[in-house]
């Protein structure tokens, strides 16, 4: 099942937004183990899952990921968790056709 996901690093107080078509737990493990060398996520090894959004396909997951990244806002990311109706609207807005 594809996911758009947001990770949080307590040590850096920062978020990472990504998407995956594979197992989410394995993906987080890879981020924390340095598998993605010299990428933004490789500068922390304490990533925890902040939010995951289950999508119908990879296209929808990528579109939602890009939307969240374009917002460039920690407040927006925190509001996604605080107000689940925002996620519902995103899923409807980026329906696959």
CA dist 32 and 62 (Å) reads 21
Digit-coded pLDDT (tens) for 28-68: 998 888 888 777 777 889 999 999 999 999 999 999 999 99
Residue 89 pLDDT exceeds 90? yes
Give the pLDDT of residue 42: 76
Residue 77 pLDDT exceeds 70? yes
pTM listed for this prediction:
0.91
- For the chain, what percent of residues have pLDDT higher than 90? 77
Measured CA angle at 81 (ends 11, 94), to 5 deg? 115
């Amino acid at each position: 099942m594809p996911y758009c996901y947001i990770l949080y690093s307590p040590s850096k107080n920062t978020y990472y937004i990504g998407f995956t078509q594979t197992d989410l737990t394995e993906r987080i493990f890879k981020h924390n183990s340095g598998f993605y060398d010299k990428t933004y996520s490789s500068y922390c090894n304490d990533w925890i899952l902040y939010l995951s959004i289950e999508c119908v396909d990879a296209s929808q997951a990528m579109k939602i990921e890009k939307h969240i990244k374009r917002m460039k806002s920690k407040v927006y990311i925190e509001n996604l968790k605080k107000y689940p109706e925002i996620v519902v609207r995103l899923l409807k807005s980026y329906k696959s056709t």
